[in-house]
């Protein structure tokens, strides 16, 4: 909603607020209060909310004490430069324009990792910002299972003739897409009394408290799925935030004390699990379109007149390797992630020099997707992440896929009326389950702890592979 001219000063305002938040966290008064609180929680159960608040505050203080303000400033300054270099590099499809900034990003990330501390691999420190508990080594193990599981499913899917998908690219007026999207979000349970759905170039979800959650989507007049599945995805994120226990509002259990911003989800991966669950397990399902395709057709009688619900479902689950991560189907998406994480690890430990990145990228795309990258804009320069100083966040997309399937499998197993409710379009049953088991806890439990409480297992890849196999093979 901000006018374009406000971006620079808004950035300065956010930097000021973040610095003040950090200063308050590290102030002697906070230390005194915290020490008192540490005494007060003795005797409380290990998982008591109060105990967790205190422990998380202590952990955040240690984190921020370890990172000097000068490094934070250097990273912020770099970000501004790197982003405009990346924009130019991408528009000219010329990696060399971005390379020196990426080199600096890697160097500052290494310094940052050293400040935070790591034992096995510097990447471990970076991942801990987004997905506490994961490491280069745990991800390597996860990805090796995932790769082994995905390849045969992908083979089967690719051996079948492609369904038609021509109708997805017809003329879909934006206003109609918007009306359908608003209905969709509401149908899934998004509370518009405490949320909005707006339009942006890059879809996102952001929450200021559980009572003020904003989600956005984009509308492509000649490509219907972008807005539908984008809206479903962000609705999933929004539901998580709206579902956090009201008692945690404006406490550390709804705040990322390391990143210093309000968020109720317990990790990036846990957050992504909810968006992917609603996007893929619910909306990208045959059940959903059997029920709701007539609504969609009513909104778009012209372009969807000659299409059946089954044809629509098959078109939106079509599998086809491509160069672009954000356009990837469910079966190839994780390959995009795995190669990025592999590259990030190699950049962080120095085994891959920045200059050799384009070559490594293209080789990975050839190896995993059997495609020849046509240019750097559609290859190594496609994602914004590295230009913002983000190294270490990519794994959370795949973790979200895995966790979403694990939660869904558990719910289906434990609630025998869930499938019938979903078939009947009564999504409140699913939302209630997720609210009780996941959302309301906010950041009280770490991701694996939450999974163990609710599914009896830490992050487990089996349900995800089962889901993909039954859907795509």
Among residues 1, 45, 201, 351, the one that binds a second copy under rule CB under 8 A: 1
Q: CA torsion sign, 341 to 347 to 350 to 354?
A: positive
Judged by CB under 8 A, the stretch of 71-79, 113-121, 165-173, 204-212 that binds a second copy is 204-212
Q: Please tell me whether residue 209 binds a second copy under the rule CB under 8 A.
A: yes
Q: Please tell me whether residue 212 binds a second copy under the rule CB under 8 A.
A: yes
Judged by CB under 8 A, the stretch of 207-215, 325-333, 366-374, 450-458 that binds a second copy is 207-215
* Smallest separation, CB 339 to a second copy (Å): 39
Judged by CB under 8 A, the stretch of 10-18, 102-110, 148-156, 223-231 that binds a second copy is 10-18
Residue bearing tokens 């293209």: 362
* Smallest separation, CB 391 to a second copy (Å): 31
Partner residues linked to 255 by β-bridges:
262
**SS percent in the chain: helix, strand, coil, step 5:** 65, 5, 30
The Cα 252–Cα 260 span in angstroms is 10
∠ CA 113-137-152, rounded to 5° = 135
* Smallest separation, CB 203 to a second copy (Å): 18
Contact 402, 142 (CB under 8 A): yes
Judged by CB under 8 A, the stretch of 117-125, 209-217, 231-239, 463-471 that binds a second copy is 209-217
Partner residues linked to 207 by β-bridges:
213
Residue 327 catalytic? no
Residue 122 vs 203, nearer CB to a second copy:
203
Mask 20-49, x = binds a second copy (CB under 8 A)?
x---x-------------------------
Among residues 192, 302, 359, 425, the one that binds a second copy under rule CB under 8 A: 192
The Cα 225–Cα 234 span in angstroms is 14
Please state whether 261 falls in left (phi above 0), alpha (psi between -120 and 50) or beta.
beta
Contact 176, 299 (CB under 8 A): yes
* Smallest separation, CB 280 to a second copy (Å): 27
**Binding residues for a second copy restricted to 323-382, rule: CB under 8 A:** none
List the 212-217 sheet strands across, edge first: 195-199, 212-217, 205-209
Q: Which residues contact 89 (CB under 8 A, 6 or more apart)?
A: 95, 96, 97, 98, 376, 381
* Smallest separation, CB 224 to a second copy (Å): 26
Q: Beta strand pairing status for 205-209 and 212-217?
A: antiparallel
Catalytic position from the list 131, 205, 234, 272: 234
Residue 24 vs 81, nearer CB to a second copy:
24
**Binding residues for a second copy restricted to 222-281, rule: CB under 8 A:** 249-250
Q: Please tell me whether residue 191 binds a second copy under the rule CB under 8 A.
A: yes
Classify residue 223 by its DSSP letter: B
Classify residue 196 by its DSSP letter: E
Among residues 208, 353, 359, 458, the one that binds a second copy under rule CB under 8 A: 208
- HSE (CB half, 13 Å, CA atoms) of 195? 26
* Smallest separation, CB 1 to a second copy (Å): 6
The Cα 108–Cα 408 span in angstroms is 39
The Cα 177–Cα 238 span in angstroms is 19
Residue 19 vs 176, nearer CB to a second copy:
19
Q: Please tell me whether residue 211 binds a second copy under the rule CB under 8 A.
A: yes
Judged by CB under 8 A, the stretch of 7-15, 168-176, 285-293, 411-419 that binds a second copy is 7-15
Using CB under 8 A as the binding criterion, the count of chain residues that bind a second copy stands at 26
Residues of this chain that interact with a second copy (CB under 8 A) are: 1-6, 8-10, 12-13, 20, 24, 191-196, 208-209, 211-213, 249-250
For the annotated catalytic residues, the residue numbers are 234
């Amino acid at each position: 909603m901000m006018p374009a001219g406000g971006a620079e000063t808004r950035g300065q305002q956010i930097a000021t607020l973040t610095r003040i938040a950090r200063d308050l966290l590290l102030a002697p008064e906070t230390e005194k209060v915290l020490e008192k609180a540490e005494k007060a929680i003795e005797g409380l159960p290990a998982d008591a909310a109060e105990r967790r608040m205190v422990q998380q505050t202590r952990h955040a203080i240690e984190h921020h004490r370890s990172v000097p303000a000068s490094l934070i400033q250097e990273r912020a300054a770099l970000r501004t430069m790197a982003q405009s270099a990346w924009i130019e590099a991408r528009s000219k499809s010329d990696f060399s324009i971005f390379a020196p900034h990426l080199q600096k990003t890697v160097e500052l990330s290494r310094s940052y990792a050293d400040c935070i501390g790591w034992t096995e691999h510097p990447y471990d420190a970076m991942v801990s910002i987004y997905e506490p508990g994961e490491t280069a080594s745990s991800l390597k193990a996860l990805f090796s299972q995932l790769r082994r599981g995905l390849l045969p499913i992908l083979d089967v899917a690719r051996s079948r003739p492609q369904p038609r998908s021509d109708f997805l690219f017809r003329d879909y007026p934006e206003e109609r897409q918007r009306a359908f999207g608003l209905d969709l979000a509401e149908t899934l349970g998004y509370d518009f009394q405490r949320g909005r759905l707006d339009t942006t170039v890059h879809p996102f979800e952001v929450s200021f408290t559980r009572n003020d959650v904003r989600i956005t989507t984009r509308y492509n007049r000649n490509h219907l799925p972008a807005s539908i599945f984008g809206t479903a995805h962000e609705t999933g994120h929004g539901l998580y935030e709206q579902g956090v226990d009201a008692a945690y509002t404006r406490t550390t259990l709804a705040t990322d004390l390391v990143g210093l911003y309000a968020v109720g989800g317990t990790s990036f991966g846990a957050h992504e699990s909810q968006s992917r669950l609603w996007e893929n397990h619910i909306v990208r399902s045959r059940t959903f379109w059997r029920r709701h395709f007539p609504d969609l057709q009513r909104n778009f009688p012209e372009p969807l007149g000659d299409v059946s619900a089954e044809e629509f479902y098959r078109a939106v689950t079509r599998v086809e390797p491509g160069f672009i991560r954000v356009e990837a189907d469910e079966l190839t998406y994780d390959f995009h992630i795995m190669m990025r994480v592999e590259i990030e690890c190699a950049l962080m430990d120095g085994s891959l020099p920045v200059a050799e990145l384009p070559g490594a990228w293209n080789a990975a795309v050839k190896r995993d997707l059997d495609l020849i990258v046509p240019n750097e804009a559609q290859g190594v320069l496609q994602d914004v992440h590295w230009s913002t100083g983000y190294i270490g966040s990519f794994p959370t997309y795949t973790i979200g896929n895995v966790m979403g399937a694990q939660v869904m499998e558990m719910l289906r197993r434990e609630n025998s009326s869930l499938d019938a409710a979903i078939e009947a379009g009564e999504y409140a049953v699913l939302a209630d389950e997720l609210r009780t088991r996941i959302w309301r806890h906010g950041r009280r439990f770490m991701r694996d702890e939450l999974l163990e409480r609710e599914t009896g297992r830490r992050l487990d890849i089996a349900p995800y592979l089962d889901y993909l196999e039954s859907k795509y093979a």
